[in-house]
Amino acid sequence: TVTLLGKEATESKLKETLATKPRWRAVHFACHGLVDAERPVLSALALTPTEEDDGFLTVLDVFRMKCPADLVVLSACETAKGKTLSGEGIVGLTRAFMYAGAASVLCTQWKVADDSTAALMACFYTHYREGDSKDVALQKAMREIRTGRMANGRPLVLPKELGKWKQAWTHPYYWAPFILMGEYRQTGATP
């Protein structure tokens, strides 16, 4: 596992890190997402700025990079959005990451809440690491956040730093914005 936080979460460090393996099982972006509805190639993920770059990993930047991954998770707001261009289809972050080498992208359809997103991601990765396919891991995580219960019927227990499950999370706003695009099965990549 490699984690890039704060001053290390730069575009150049990201590209350098991605190049250290032939294929990644998962690459997760937990940052702000910016949607440019009129110019979708300028939609971006907010990283840390440096002297070399502005800190915005745009759709255009992603189209120009390599991201060999079984799964890219974009847990920021509205990362599934894009613009339909004649002869091109939908242009946005999801398409860019697939073009860059991701077999699938887990993304969001609307603005997301930080606490429920963190909880859903914790549940998702628990199931994904245990061997569930991406679609099944997402389905289980959504059910757990929606109901506050694990598959065995016991109350959902989250990592201590995330706090406790909240009754408000039963509303679809908290668990339903996540969609999986692309390949839903494992592709045999190593973690």
Q: What pLDDT shows up at residue 186?
A: 63
What does the alpha-carbon distance between residue 70 and residue 143 come to, in Å, rounded to a whole number?
23
Task: Say what the pTM is.
Answer: 0.92
Q: Of 106, 8, 15, which Cα lies nearest the Cα of 66?
A: 15
Q: What pLDDT shows up at residue 143?
A: 98
Angle at the Cα of 60 (from 83 to 111), degrees rounded to 5?
Answer: 50
Q: What pLDDT shows up at residue 188?
A: 52
User: Which two structure tokens, joined as six digits, stand for 188?
Assistant: 């045999």
pLDDT along the chain (191 residues), means of 10: 93 94 95 92 96 95 96 95 84 95 96 97 96 95 97 94 97 97 68 41
